[in-house]
C-alpha cells in the first residue's frame, strides 16, 4: 500500500534585489518535498535576465484552493497496458538512481515523510545502476562507390558478357559445320565446356 506524500511549503527564493544566487534550482535537487519536482527556467542573453520558478511548490499552494480539480492517485498509470500499477518499480537504469527519486520511493513504500527518509537513510547510497550489455554493431557498410567506379564496373561486366556471347556463337557455328560434335559439350551449373578432341580418334 503506497502512502501519500505531502508537499512542503515553497522554499522561497534564495536571492533578493537582483543578485546572482550561489545555488541554482534544478529538477531533482531535492530542495522541496513535492512529489514531482518541476522547475521553470527562462533566460535570454539579449536582455541579460534569467527567471527560475519552482513550479511544483507554486502549484501545491494553488491545489490547496482548488482541491476539486486535483487527483492524487497512489499508483503509476502504465500507458502501454492502460492500467494502474500499485507497486513502485525496482530501479533498472544504467546510472545510479537519483537520490531525489530514491527518497520519494522510500517515502511511498514506508509511509515516512521525506524529511524522515532523508535523515534515516542519509548514510546509505541509492541503488546502483545496471550496465546493459553492449550491442554488437554490424560491420560498417562500405562507402558508396563513386560514379566513375560504378561506370567502370559496368563496362567490365559488359565486356565479360560480350566475350561469353562470342564464345557461345563460336561453339554453335562449330556444331553446325561439324567441326565438333555434341558429345564434346559438357553442361555445368555455370554454363558449358568443350572437351578436348580425342587424339586417337583424330589420328584415325
- What are the sequence ranges of the domains in the chain? 1-132, 147-203
More confident call, 68 vs 134: 68
Which of 194, 191, 200, 116 lies closest to 160, judged by CA? Answer: 191
E runs forming strands in the chain = 40-44, 49-53, 76-78, 83-85, 185-188, 191-194
pLDDT of residue 177 exceeding 70, the answer is yes
Predicted pLDDT of residue 18: 59
Predicted pLDDT of residue 19: 67
The answer to whether residues 73 and 86 touch, using CB atoms and an 8 Å cutoff, is: no
Weakest mean pLDDT among 66-70, 73-77, 169-173: 169-173
What would you measure as the largest C-alpha separation in the chain, in angstroms?
Answer: 121
Give the number of other CB atoms < 10 A from CB of residue 59: 16
Predicted pLDDT of residue 120: 93
The Cα–Cα gap between 193 and 184 comes to 8
Taking residues 47-57, report their average pLDDT: 88
Average per-residue pLDDT for the chain: 81
pTM (two decimals):
0.54
pLDDT of residue 152 exceeding 80, the answer is yes
Weakest mean pLDDT among 82-86, 109-113, 194-198: 194-198
Which of 51, 50, 26 lies closest to 39, judged by CA? Answer: 26
Reading the block at residue 44, the C-alpha cell is 535570454
Predicted pLDDT of residue 106: 92
For residue 16, what pLDDT band results from cuts at 50, 70 and 90? Answer: very low
Predicted pLDDT of residue 3: 53
pLDDT in tens, 86-121: 998 999 889 999 999 999 999 999 989 999 999 999
Amino acid at each position: 500500500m503506497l502512502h501519500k506524500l505531502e508537499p512542503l511549503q515553497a522554499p522561497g527564493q534564495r536571492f533578493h534585489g537582483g543578485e546572482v544566487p550561489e545555488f541554482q534550482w534544478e529538477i531533482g535537487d531535492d530542495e522541496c518535498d513535492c512529489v514531482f519536482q518541476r522547475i521553470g527556467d527562462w533566460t535570454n542573453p539579449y536582455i541579460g535576465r534569467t527567471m527560475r520558478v519552482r513550479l511544483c511548490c507554486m502549484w501545491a499552494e494553488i491545489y490547496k484552493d482548488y482541491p476539486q480539480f486535483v487527483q492524487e492517485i497512489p499508483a503509476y498509470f502504465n500507458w502501454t497496458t492502460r492500467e494502474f500499477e500499485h507497486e513502485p518499480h525496482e530501479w533498472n537504469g544504467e546510472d545510479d538512481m537519483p537520490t531525489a527519486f530514491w527518497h520519494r520511493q522510500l517515502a511511498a513504500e514506508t509511509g515516512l515523510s521525506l524529511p524522515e527518509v532523508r535523515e534515516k537513510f542519509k548514510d546509505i547510497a541509492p541503488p546502483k545502476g545496471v550496465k546493459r550489455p553492449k550491442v554488437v554493431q554490424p560491420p560498417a557498410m562500405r562507402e558508396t562507390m563513386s560514379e566513375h567506379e560504378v561506370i567502370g564496373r559496368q563496362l567490365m561486366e559488359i565486356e565479360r558478357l560480350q566475350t561469353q556471347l562470342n564464345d557461345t556463337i563460336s561453339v554453335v557455328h562449330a556444331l553446325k559445320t561439324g567441326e565438333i560434335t555434341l558429345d564434346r559439350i559438357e553442361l555445368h551449373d555455370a554454363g558449358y565446356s568443350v572437351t578436348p578432341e580425342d587424339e586417337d580418334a583424330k589420328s584415325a
